[in-house]
Amino acid sequence: MIDYNALTDDAFRAGLRVFFEANYPRHLRFLPRRMRWHECRDWYLALSKKGWLAPHWPPEHGGMGLTPGKLIIYFEETERAGIGRMPDQGLTMVGPTIIRFGNDAQRRKFLPPIIAGEHVWCQGYSEPNAGSDLASLQTSAVLEGDEFVINGSKIWTSMAHDATHIYVLVRTDRQAKKQEGISFVLVDMKTPGITVRPIRNIAGHEEFCQVFFDNVRTPRANLVGELNAGWTIAKGLLGFERLNIGSPRRPLQALEQIEVLARARQLGDNPAFVERLTELKLDLADLGSLYARYVDKVRRGEALGPDVSMLKIWATETYQRLSELLIEAAGEYGAFEGEIPVGDASVDILSPFYTSRPGTIYGGSNEIQRNILAKYVLKLPG
């Protein structure tokens, strides 16, 4: 087994770049949307065969075990190559959660199929009346013998129409306080009683879904952690989610498109534009440093605290500011959908704007994140 952390940064980067350039399909580069499973399956399996699918997982579970510095290089090279985001909840969310909170039987059962591409996961968290206030969720799970019976619905479930499995937060004790009485369970999407309805977003893509549960049965063995103790797991997983949302990946892509337009339209001669672009570059550099700090905590096995909300706020709002400057830099082309020819390249001007809008809402709205920082980090009075 190769110890990638023993390689020099330059050697590691060069190896990634050669493989990505030679193997990642050209027609899937720099997509303005998330990839569907049928589009990215072959690439997913190619990364799995190479051993590069889960760069942040420990090697004993099929990951690369990268240090924070190497992990940042990995992500930088995927961004440079225009590698799109796959249905990756298994890799980025439930896999690390099972590694941390699950038992040995669950790790043996669920981790290898993620690496093999046999299980594709989605997240069952938000509900129509429980978004940022996730603890108000009402989807219930009643224990009957060795099975939970689940009823309710989840919404904004990314890529649920491609998923084979879903991890669900359910209420298992209605008499407890709302942060208590919640459990974390794993469900096979082929289970009778599950209905998936795609939701079309403003850009015309169906990335989100609503998932309905009508007397859906899942084994008690699929309970991760203790009964009624799912909120602790949920908070840990929300930390992973905010880390993922806080990646500099999409803001960097928007910056690259701005620079393409700036060269084509000779905006470097405009002092006001240069000042705004420089400010955003510095914001993005700060984001990269902050992101690396939290990646370092995860690699050390430390829990992400409430201060990770700062990363989510900074990443999503920086991305929005970049998307707005991209439209301004495009001038009269700023209202055109799809790719616009710009010199020898092409730029999709509106997609970053569309994709950045919900970023300040999902994963817990930024207003809620600021409340978390005020209460739990700054200890301000309520």
- Measured CA to CA, the distance from residue 214 to residue 48 in angstroms comes to 35
Tell me if 262 sits within 8 A of 329, measured CB to CB: yes
For residues 138 and 171, the answer to whether their CB atoms sit within 8 Å is yes
Nearest to 348 by CA among 260, 248, 246, 247: 260
158 neighbors 193 (Cβ within 8 angstroms) = no
Active site positions, annotated: 241
**What's phi and psi for 88, nearest 5 deg?**
-115, 20
By 3-state DSSP, what share of the chain in percent is helix, strand and coil, each rounded to 5?
55, 15, 30
Strands 182-188 and 223-224: antiparallel
CA distances from 275 to 241, 312, 317, 327 (A): 32, 25, 18, 16
Closest CA to 223 of 111, 148, 113, 139: 148
Q: Say if CB 261 and CB 326 are below 8 A apart.
A: yes
- Whether 41 contacts 117, CB under 8 Å: yes
How far is Cα 334 from Cα 327, in angstroms, rounded to an integer? 5
Cα three-residue angle 309-156-78, rounded to 5 degrees: 65
Q: Which residue pairs from 253-258 have beta carbons closer than 8 angstroms and sit at least 24 positions apart in sequence? A: 253/30, 253/79, 253/82, 253/352, 254/319, 254/322, 254/323, 254/326, 254/352, 254/356, 255/280, 255/281, 255/284, 255/322, 257/326, 257/347, 257/348, 257/349, 257/352, 258/322, 258/325, 258/326, 258/329
3-state class of 151 per DSSP?
A: strand
